[in-house]
């Protein structure tokens, strides 16, 4: 099919994320990707400022990751995980337990980030049942979060400004604290309100679900590490299962391997996804402590009632292990620091707010971005961006060179001007 025919069919028949079927925004045809670049039909190679929604940390067509998938194909691409296991799953779990904050040594392999959050929430609910508190069925969280698109995940997303606001009345009603203050903000004032809210609702709360250190798709909002200690204390004081959703922040993005490390706080359940496979295949995991695993196994059913068809997919596990090995044997921390330095140029852009944390750069405008206009302006600078709401941001692959990062900053400046 010609590019025109592909795009015409796509426009008629394929859903894209958060997009109208009757009046879709423009879609571009990708014909290849390599390193930090994607190739767009009619445009050519551009730097990928989005790392395919924050996942392709090592860049595209990495020889070691390509080889890991090929090698796994030669033995098997998939088998069911019910009653069966395999080396790729065991090897990945070993690595995750090794890298994750201490105590998280029970691994549930899920097929997407949203599913891992569903599993984490189910773990918390079943844990409360198993420990004699079945009346604890609600969750505490903070405003401004994003935890996925399935129903229980949506219930802990930001209830007002977020992408799931239209579902109020349909979703389980959770308890929302104020969004944590920005970096340099008043943690004590926020913490006092959050502690009071938790105390008020404690009898009915099963768990506390938050994105540590950086709220991603809910508004690209970094907040002080001290807030993580407050989450841990509140969870301990009231017997809540503390879930850290590190699907966006995990694997070095904010400057530590996990955002939780910034405050030396360990959750009871940790969700990882996105960058887990280096952006190759859909895979996520929910890791929990032995205590949570024992508690929930004492509930009526005695088992964790979840088991996706493609649980523990060997191809995905194999490439995830290879990606983690690349991280641990390479110097991702130096790359993230280097990218952070390059992204400081964003502060020159005239905007309501500019936020840079780790390998994340965010420019907030005083109006909703005209996404097609802004994306077009960035492409003219050789950069792929996908702004949302009033935000133009980048979470680039760690393999970006200094020149790539300079191009991304120029792309964001052009997008801010145009959109
Ligand atoms: C992307 C994301 C999810 C959802 O992951 P999917 O793989 O898209 O289902 C959940 N939580 C956070 C913090 C995310 O960034």
Digitized pLDDT (tens) for each residue of the chain, 419 residues in all: 999 999 999 999 999 999 999 998 899 999 999 999 999 999 999 999 999 999 999 999 999 999 999 999 999 999 999 999 999 999 999 999 999 999 999 999 999 999 999 999 999 999 999 999 999 999 999 999 999 999 999 999 999 876 677 887 888 999 999 999 999 999 999 999 999 999 999 999 999 999 999 999 999 999 999 999 999 999 999 999 999 999 999 999 999 999 999 999 999 999 999 999 999 999 999 999 999 999 999 988 889 999 999 999 999 999 999 999 999 999 999 999 999 999 999 999 999 999 999 999 999 999 999 999 999 999 999 999 999 999 999 999 999 999 999 999 999 999 999 98
- Ligand 1 test: best mutation among 146, 221, 286, most atoms within 8 Å of CB? 146
Residue 162 beta carbon below 6 angstroms from any ligand 1 atom: no
Residue 147 beta carbon below 6 angstroms from any ligand 1 atom: yes
- Ligand 1 test: best mutation among 213, 222, 247, 388, most atoms within 8 Å of CB? 247
Question: How would you label 322-338 residue by residue, b for 16+ Cβ within 10 Å and e otherwise?
Answer: bbbebbeeeebeebbeb
Dist. CA 365–CA 367, nearest whole Å: 5
| 146 carries a ligand binding annotation | yes
- Strand duo 221-222 + 214-215: pairing: antiparallel
Residue 51 to residues 3, 86, 247, 330, 350, Cα–Cα distance (Å): 23, 30, 14, 18, 25
Angle of the 113-130 helix axis to the 290-297 helix axis, nearest 10: 60
Q: What CATH code is assigned to 76-329?
A: 3.40.640.10
Q: What pLDDT, on the 0 to 100 scale, is given for residue 163?
A: 67
Residue 245 beta carbon below 6 angstroms from any ligand 1 atom: yes
Residue 404 beta carbon below 6 angstroms from any ligand 1 atom: no
- State in words which class domain 3-61+333-418 has: alpha beta
| 122 carries a ligand binding annotation | no
| 274 carries a ligand binding annotation | yes
Q: What pLDDT, on the 0 to 100 scale, is given for residue 64?
A: 98
Structure tokens belonging to residue 181: 């203050």
Residue 100 beta carbon below 6 angstroms from any ligand 1 atom: no
Active site residues: 18, 146, 245, 274
Ligand 1 centroid to residue 272 C-alpha, Å = 9
Ligand 1 centroid to residue 51 C-alpha, Å = 14
Residue 244 beta carbon below 6 angstroms from any ligand 1 atom: no
User: 């959770």: which residue's tokens?
Assistant: 174
- Ligand 1 test: best mutation among 112, 119, 148, most atoms within 8 Å of CB? 148
Tell me, rounded to whole angstroms, the distance of Cα 157 from its chain centroid. 13
Q: How many CA atoms lie within 13 A of 47 on its CB side?
A: 25
Structure tokens belonging to residue 84: 């069966």
Extents of the domains making up the chain:
3-61+333-418, 76-329
Identify whether the C-beta of residue 72 lies closer than 8 Å to the C-beta of residue 319.
yes
Residue 1 to residues 5, 6, 323, 359, Cα–Cα distance (Å): 6, 6, 34, 38
Please name every residue paired with 40 in a beta bridge, in sequence order, or none if there are none. Answer: 30, 44
């Amino acid at each position: 099919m010609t590019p025109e025919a592909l795009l015409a069919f796509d426009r008629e028949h394929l859903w894209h994320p958060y997009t109208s079927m009757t009046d879709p925004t423009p879609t571009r045809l990708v014909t290849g990707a390599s390193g930090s670049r994607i190739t767009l039909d009619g445009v050519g190679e551009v730097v990928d400022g989005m790392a395919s929604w924050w996942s392709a940390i090592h860049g595209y067509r990495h020889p070691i990751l390509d080889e890991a998938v090929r090698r796994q194909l030669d033995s098997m691409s998939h088998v069911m995980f019910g009653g069966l296991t395999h080396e790729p799953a065991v090897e990945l779990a070993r690595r995750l337990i090794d890298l994750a904050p201490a105590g998280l040594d029970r691994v549930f392999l899920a097929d997407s980030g949203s599913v891992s959050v569903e599993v984490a929430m189910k773990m918390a609910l079943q844990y409360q049942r198993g420990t004699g508190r079945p009346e604890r069925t609600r969750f505490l969280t903070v405003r401004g979060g994003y935890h996925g698109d399935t129903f229980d995940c949506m219930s802990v997303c930001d209830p007002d400004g977020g992408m799931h606001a239209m579902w109020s009345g349909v979703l389980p009603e959770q308890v929302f604290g104020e969004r944590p203050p920005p970096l340099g903000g008043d943690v004590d004032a926020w913490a006092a309100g959050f502690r009071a809210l938790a105390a008020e609702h404690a009898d009915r709360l099963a768990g506390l679900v938050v994105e540590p250190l950086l709220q991603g798709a809910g508004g690209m909002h970094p907040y002080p590490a001290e807030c993580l200690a407050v989450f841990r204390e509140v969870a301990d004081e009231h017997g809540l299962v503390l879930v850290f959703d590190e699907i966006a922040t995990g694997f070095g993005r904010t400057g530590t391997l996990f955002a939780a490390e910034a405050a030396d706080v360990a959750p009871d359940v940790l969700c990882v996804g996105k960058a887990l496979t280096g952006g190759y295949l859909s895979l996520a995991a929910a890791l929990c402590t032995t205590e949570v695993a024992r508690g929930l196994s004492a509930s009526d059913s005695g088992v964790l009632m979840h088991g996706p068809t493609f649980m523990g997919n060997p191809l995905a596990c194999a490439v995830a292990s290879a990606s983690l090995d690349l991280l641990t044997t390479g110097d991702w921390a130096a790359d993230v620091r280097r990218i952070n330095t390059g992204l400081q140029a964003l502060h020159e852009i005239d905007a309501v707010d500019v936020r840079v944390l780790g390998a994340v750069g965010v420019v907030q405008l005083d109006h909703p971005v005209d996404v097609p206009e802004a994306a077009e302006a960035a492409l003219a600078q050789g950069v792929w961006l996908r702004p949302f709401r009033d935000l133009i941001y980048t979470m680039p692959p760690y393999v970006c060179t200094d020149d790539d990062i300079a191009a991304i900053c120029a792309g964001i400046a052009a997008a801010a001007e145009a959109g």
